[in-house]
Chain A
Amino acid sequence: MNLIRRGGRFVIRHGGRVAAELRRRWIAFGVLWRRSLQVRVVVSTLALSSAVVFVLGMVLQNQITDQLLAAKIQAAQSQATTAQATASVALRGVSAVTDDLQTRMANALSSLTTSASDPQQGASSAAGGFVPVLADEQVGLQPDQEVSSGPLNDVPAALRQFVAAGRTGYQITTVPARSGPTTYLAVGAPITVASQPIQLYLLFPLTAEQQTISVVQDTLMIGGIVLVLLLASVTYLVIRQVVRPVRHAAEVAERFAEGHLDERMQVIGEDDVARLAESYNQMAESIQDQIHQLEEFGQLQRRFSSDVSHELRTPLTTVRMAADVLHASREQFPAGLARSTELMVDELDRFEALLGDLLEISKLDAGVEELASEVVDVTGIARSAIASVQGIVGGTTTVIELHVPEPGAPDSTAEVDARRVERILRNLLGNAIDHGEGLPVRITVAGDEDAVAVTVRDHGVGLRHGEHDLVFNRFWRADPSRNRRTGGTGLGLAISLEDARLHGGWLDAWGEPGQGASFRLTLPRRPNTELTDSPLPLDPRDVEQPPVDPEVPTVSVTATGAVLPALVTPTAEVYAVPPVPAEPPPDSWLSSDVSGIDAGPNVPVARTED
């Protein structure tokens, strides 16, 4: 009892673990099943051949049993006929009234068993040994009133009724004995020579037949198991012949896909696998050729870029120098000539910028550009981009505000090519200053777990519907009549887009007529990671209130804490307001009103009043 309780506890304690282990195994097997053709084929073969062998074994066994029994029954019946005759002679004229029925019966039995070689085994005959039983049973008589000789109780009741009714019959019965249950074939026949019905039963033990059948069963079972195992191993070997080349082909194809273009399959023989290998190799060959061709094109393109660069730059240098020489002494020229010289020098600058951008984009198109990535702080890049556009800010009323991640918020470090990111931001800032109508330009840097984003927001005329994608088109201009300060080449945003793509990042635009535009650059923190979301929303109105009224200058704070009009300081660095609730909605962490101004952690903070 105690043991059972302990066992129960054990089962409860370990049952869960065992179940988990079983589940784990089952899942592992499921994976193996799905992934390995070999396992699938071998297991299927095992299952199907087991079923076939089982059915076959059952049929065979039944057949053999039936045959054995039929022979036995036939022999037993003929033996019974003989015994019936013998018993009839011995019991002729017997009567329960006149004779001692019991004695007569014993005599009759002994005459039946005279030929028995071994008295213990009863009589023997062609049908094998048997035990004879004699009984006088009448239909309807009480069972304990009968007189019998021999083990009448071993004769099944159904047979006794059947024979008592005067018919001949047989039945197979199992009799419990001390040495274990024994199965007999019981044959019964009525003896009608006496004044009252007497029945003769012969009990043939089926031990030998059972032994034969169990030997057959064992043989069939072992044979079946061996057959199934043999089949499984044959299947395994055969399928291995097919699967191995397929796996090899898969490996070769994987290595090929990884860029080992010289990888080829071995062609052995002329069978289907060899054909597969051959056609695979042909495919690989042609892909390799194509790739080489493309590589050559790329190299040609690169060479072309480089050559164009040289060929164009040399005359441009001469012109540039000549123009500068003229420009240097323009005071000596008449007014028209002097102005022409100035125009020439200015346009040469534009020409140079255009040439540079064209070369850049042709290199990007050729796909020969590589990232010189290192882990840098994108905020730092944004600062240097702002510094580099100060030249075009000068003389405008534009204020550039930089919003950096709040201390404690995810920082803005990422593995990027600093030169390219700065170029993107420079382009975006130049664009914002060009189209910002002198209103503040806001550049916001933010990061999350996987990405760093920078938005550049202006409050100029904005973009019309459908222009969000057009802005990245080469040489596309929103409004040709618009006054340009940066002398943009029309390629800046296209190059920026390519640079962003090179990083695996996004560059997208938002704009509404009259509400300004916003460009968002999203870069993955680590190269080759898929971007799913940006730390900043594209539509800046999600996080801000209406733009600051230009008539009310933005207030910003210098490092000393003095409050100055924003127009005096070209760049106001501002912290984004941290989320007030513990779980902010994803887009609202950058609160609308800019309140904390970067003036050191302990400096009082001025609020921007809208």
Chain B
Amino acid sequence: MAENLVGSAERAGDHRVPHARGAVGATIWGMKARVLVVDDDPALAEMLTIVLRGEGFDTAVVADGSRAMPALREFKPDLVLLDLMLPGMNGIDVCKAIRAESGVPVVMLTAKTDTVDIVLGLESGADDYVVKPFKPKELVARIRARLRRTEAEPAESLTIGDLSIDVPGHEVLRDGVAIQLTPLEFDLLVALARKPRQVFTREVLLEQVWGYRHAADTRLVNVHVQRLRSKVERDPEHPEVVLTVRGVGYKAGPP
């Protein structure tokens, strides 16, 4: 069963397939990018479909949280738009279920401005969030930022801490053993590894990894650094790969 899940994850998440390099459009390798909309409000879902189709995305809609996982396996989206309040299955749980199978980028739609809810959503694995009511342009910008993949030099290989990163192969290895990362976590790690001496402020990381033009919520960075550490550090309490520079930001650990 576990193997089955991993297999479907690779198909569904599809994160090993290099996406359009530097593409800002809705196509990946000439194909329309696929967005799965998980939202129980039919009007909003339809409106999202209209806007996304207008921007050149291929969309599918599920209204029920419990049907999100089958749709994910079937539709194999490049990105999931996930409402946090859902019937059937809570958005947070859906997000966790998606993360258990796949690294597909997840953007939360949330009406809640409460810190707790946003942090909970990010901790459950969402890559980014958009607060309702949002403008269509804002949403599309966030989706495109998540679909834009890190540009890789041919055969670029990096080291960070005791990890080696095969950038085109989208693979992180420790002692020859691969570590599974979501595309966002991979991008975060690569951003740090490419400039090993530089200290990255949270704002710089938001711009480089998330594609925010101006200062946004730095909790995004904090939560994802925690998630990344839980996967790549031998002891997340004493990080050696992603180091905190107190009062400034983060930097790569020495190789």
Among A11-19, A63-71, A310-318, the one that faces the other chain is A310-318
The 8 Å CB contact of A324, one of B41, B109, B132, B137, is B137
Give the docked Cα–Cα distance between A315 and B40 (Å). 12
Residues in B neighbouring A321, C-beta threshold 8 A:
44, 47-48, 50-51, 135-136
Given A318-B44, A322-B47: A306 touches B134 (CB 8 Å cut-off): no
User: Of B51, B133, B136, which is in contact with the most chain A CB atoms at under 10 Å from its CB?
Assistant: B133
Contacts of A325 in B (CB 8 A): 47, 50-51, 54, 136
Q: Could you tell me which residues of chain B, from 85 to 140, have a CB within 8 Å of some CB in chain A?
A: 85, 109, 111-114, 132-137
A312-340 residues at the B interface, CB under 8 angstroms: 313-318, 320-322, 324-325
A352 at the interface (CB under 8 A from B): yes
Say how far B87's CB is from chain A's closest CB, in angstroms. Answer: 13
Contact A317 B112 (CB under 8 A): no
A62 in contact (CB, < 8 A): no
Q: Is B31 interfacial (CB-CB < 8 Å)?
A: no
CB distance from A183 to the nearest CB of B (A): 95
Nearest A residue (CB) for B41: A314
CA of A322 to CA of B48, assembled, Å: 9
Chain B: which residue is nearest A329 at the CB level?
B54
Q: Smallest distance from the beta carbon of A236 to chain B beta carbons, Å?
A: 56
Indicate if the CB atoms of A309 and B51 lie closer than 8 Å: no
Tell me whether A316 and B51 are in contact in the complex, defined as CB-CB below 8 angstroms, given that A306-B114, A309-B111 are known contacts: no
Closest A residue to B84 by beta carbon equals A310
With A321-B47, A325-B50, A325-B51 in contact, is A316–B133 under 8 Å at CB?
A: yes
How many Å lie between the Cα of A175 and that of B249 in the bound state? Answer: 105
A307 to chain B, nearest CB (A): 9
| Minimum Cβ distance to chain A for residue B14 (Å) | 28
Give chain A nearest CB distance to B22 CB in angstroms: 25
Task: Using A318-B44, A321-B47, A325-B50 as known contacts, say yes or no to A310 and B111 having CB atoms under 8 A apart.
Answer: yes
With an 8 A cutoff between CB atoms, is B248 at the interface?
no
Q: Are A320 and B134 in contact, CB atoms less than 8 angstroms apart?
A: yes
Chain A residues with CB below 8 A from B135, complex form: 320-321, 324
- A309 in contact with B133 given A318-B41, A318-B43, A318-B44 (CB within 8 Å): no
**In the bound complex, what is the Cα–Cα distance between A324 and B132 (angstroms)?**
14
Choose among A310, A315, A316, A320 the residue that contacts B112 (Cβ–Cβ < 8 A): A310
Which of A310, A316, A317 has the most chain B CB atoms inside 10 A of its CB?
A: A317
Q: What distance in Å separates the Cβ of A285 from its nearest Cβ neighbour in chain B?
A: 31
Q: Are A313 and B136 in contact (CB under 8 A)?
A: no
Interface residues in A247-299 by Cβ distance below 8 A to B read none
Task: Say whether A352 contacts B133, CB under 8 Å.
Answer: yes
B43–A313 touching, CB < 8 Å: no
CB contacts (< 8 Å) of B43 on chain A: these are 315, 318
Contacts of A306 in B (CB 8 A): 112, 114
Asked whether B48 lies within 8 Å of A313 as measured between CB atoms, the reply is: no
Minimal beta-carbon separation of A263 from chain B (angstroms): 29
A313 touches B133 (CB 8 A): yes
Interface residues of A (CB under 8 A from B): 306, 309-310, 313-318, 320-322, 324-325, 352
List 5 additional contacts besides A317-B109, A325-B51; criterion CB under 8 Å: A313-B133, A317-B47, A317-B133, A321-B47, A321-B48
Binding site for A on B (CB under 8 A): 41, 43-44, 47-48, 50-51, 54, 85, 109, 111-114, 132-137
Q: Kindly list the 4 A-B residue pairs having the minimum CB-CB distance in the complex, ordered from nearest.
A: A310-B111, A313-B111, A313-B132, A317-B133
Q: Sample 30 A-B pairs with CB under 8 A, ordered by A number.
A: A306-B114, A309-B111, A309-B113, A310-B85, A310-B111, A313-B132, A314-B41, A314-B44, A314-B132, A315-B41, A316-B132, A316-B133, A317-B47, A317-B109, A317-B132, A317-B133, A317-B134, A318-B47, A320-B133, A320-B134, A320-B135, A321-B44, A321-B47, A321-B48, A321-B135, A324-B136, A325-B47, A325-B54, A325-B136, A352-B133
